[in-house]
């Protein structure tokens, strides 16, 4: 049943069929789509949910989920923009960005660690723990910002998303580098193998002596880190951190990951699939925008595709006639 070669690869990653279809469709429907500048745009626009989706893939293969990523992003962004205005860093010039960004990443890591620690020690389902974190952290953002938006006064920071290296936007590079790094982490390292094992059969993992609790904490830390990092794209693009930053991002991210073939029950998924899911969402939003379709139709189309891709996945990967019918 396991087919090798390109066809087998496509059967295991049906999302890439859609990426191709979407790509061809928009290339034909508008001449503004097939354009290097536009591709750069897509990569920059998707880098936000893309980065979080990398971490979310690990957490979801673990059989967990993190709903608090949007709120984490908002808190981290607020901390950064606020910290750049602190008097301590006032005469650091552009160097003030460094401690601010480090603080931001630390915030993400700390929230991830806390989520993971609660899931580990209480045994409460990750869905519930991070649902609570999502509400609580969002509340904290409002308390912290007193419902105000923070504006970045440092223009190097707010122009960051226009910067590029060798013609490739820096944000796109950051996203691509982390995509490759996470892919290697998941497919080549012991931690990656254990990620699959814990999600596939947690009891077997415990029996085999994998320290499942600390292992899961690491993955929550990774997704927290990525959520904080992803805030760069957003807050630099806007030059500000608003308390509502990153709302519903958890849904976009989870959609991208699931589109990419990661099972909600854990044990299966890949970064290649997630990358496809992220691109599909990015190209859809961008392409439909270019041909002048109102934004809410994007949601409609995306929802339809989500169900269709999963249906296709089930059809392609079922066991044939001999399967027991429900």
Partner 1 sequence: MTDTAAAGTILRLEKIVKTFPGVRALDGVDFELRRGEVHALMGENGAGKSTLMKVLAGMYQPDGGRIHIDGLRCVLPTPIAAKEQGVILVHQELSLAEEMTVAENIFLGELPRSRFGFVDWKVLNRRVGDILETLNVDFGPRTKVNRLSIAKKQMVEIARALTHDAKVVVFDEPTASLTDAEKTVLFDIIGDLQERGVGIVYISHRMEEIFRISDRISILRDGSYRGTLVTAETDEDEVTRAMIGRSLDLSRTSDARVAPGEVRLAVRDLSCGKLFRDVSFELRAGEVLGFYGLIGAGRTEIAETLFGLRRPSAGTVHLDGEAVRIGSPAEAIARGLSLVPESRKEQGLVLGMNCRDNITLPQIDRMTSGPFISGAREVEIYDKYQARLEIKAPSWRTMVKNLSGGNQQKIVIGKWLSMAPRVLIVDEPTRGIDVGSKSEIHNLIRELAASGLAVIVISSEMPEVLRVSDRIAAMHEGRLVTVFERDVVTEDDLIQAISGIGEHAA
Q: Interface residues with partner 1 (CB under 8 A)?
A: 1-2, 188-194, 196-197, 200-201, 203-211, 267-268, 320-322, 324-325
Q: How far is the CB of 3 from partner 1 (least distance, A)?
A: 13
Cα 29 to Cα 326: distance, rounded to the nearest angstrom: 42
Q: How far is the CB of 261 from partner 1 (least distance, A)?
A: 12
Q: How far is the CB of 316 from partner 1 (least distance, A)?
A: 16
Q: Among residues 215 and 285, whose Cβ is nearest to partner 1?
A: 215
186 and 179 in contact (C-beta within 8 Å)? no
Q: Could you tell me which residues come within 8 angstroms of residue 162 by beta carbon, excluding any fewer than 6 positions away?
A: 169
Q: Among residues 2 and 146, whose Cβ is nearest to partner 1?
A: 2
Q: Among residues 63 and 239, whose Cβ is nearest to partner 1?
A: 63
Q: How far is the CB of 314 from partner 1 (least distance, A)?
A: 15
Q: How far is the CB of 203 from partner 1 (least distance, A)?
A: 6
Q: Among residues 88 and 190, whose Cβ is nearest to partner 1?
A: 190
Q: How far is the CB of 216 from partner 1 (least distance, A)?
A: 15
Q: Among residues 7 and 190, whose Cβ is nearest to partner 1?
A: 190
127 and 231 in contact (C-beta within 8 Å)? no
Task: Give the Å distances, CA to CA, from 299 to 56, 75, 294, 303.
Answer: 21, 26, 10, 6
Q: Among residues 131 and 218, whose Cβ is nearest to partner 1?
A: 218
CB-based contacts of 22-30 (< 8 A; 24+ apart in sequence)? 22/280, 22/283, 22/284, 22/287, 23/283, 25/287, 26/283, 26/286, 26/287, 26/290, 26/291, 29/287, 29/291, 30/287, 30/290, 30/291
Task: Give the Å distances, CA to CA, from 185 to 188, 239, 293.
Answer: 6, 33, 39
Q: Is 168 helix (H, G, I), strand (E, B) or coil?
A: strand
E strand or H helix that includes residue 241: strand 240-241
């Amino acid at each position: 049943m396991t087919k090798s070669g390109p066809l087998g690869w496509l059967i295991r990653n049906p999302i890439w069929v859609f990426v191709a279809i979407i790509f061809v469709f928009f290339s034909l429907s508008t001449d503004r789509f097939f354009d290097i500048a536009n591709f750069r745009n897509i990569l920059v626009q998707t880098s936000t949910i893309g980065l979080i989706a990398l971490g979310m893939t690990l957490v979801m293969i673990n059989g967990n989920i993190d709903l608090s990523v949007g709120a984490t992003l908002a808190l981290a962004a607020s901390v950064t923009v606020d910290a750049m205005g602190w008097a301590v860093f006032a005469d650091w010039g552009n160097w003030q960005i460094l401690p601010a960004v480090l603080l931001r990443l630390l915030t993400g890591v700390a929230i991830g660690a806390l989520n993971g620690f609660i899931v580990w020690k209480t045994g409460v389902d990750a869905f519930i723990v991070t649902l609570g974190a999502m509400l609580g952290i969002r509340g904290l953002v409002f308390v912290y910002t007193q419902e105000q938006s923070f504006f970045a006064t440092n223009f190097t920071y707010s122009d960051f998303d226009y910067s590029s290296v060798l013609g490739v936007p820096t944000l796109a590079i950051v996203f691509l580098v982390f995509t490759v790094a996470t892919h290697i982490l998941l497919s080549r390292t012991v931690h990656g193998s254990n990620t699959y094992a814990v999600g596939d059969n947690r009891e077997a993992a415990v029996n085999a002596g994998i320290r499942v609790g600390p292992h899961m904490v690491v993955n929550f830390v990774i997704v927290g880190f990525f959520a904080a990092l992803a805030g760069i794209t957003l807050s630099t693009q806007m030059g500000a951190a608003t308390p509502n930053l990153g709302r519903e991002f958890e849904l976009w991210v989870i959609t991208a990951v699931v589109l990419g073939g990661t099972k909600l029950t854990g044990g299966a998924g890949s970064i290649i699939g997630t990358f496809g899911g992220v691109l599909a969402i990015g190209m859809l939003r961008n392409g439909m925008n270019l041909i002048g379709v109102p934004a809410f139709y994007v949601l409609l189309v995306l929802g339809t595709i989500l169900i269709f891709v999963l249906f296709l996945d089930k059809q392609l990967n079922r066991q044939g006639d001999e399967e027991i019918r429900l």
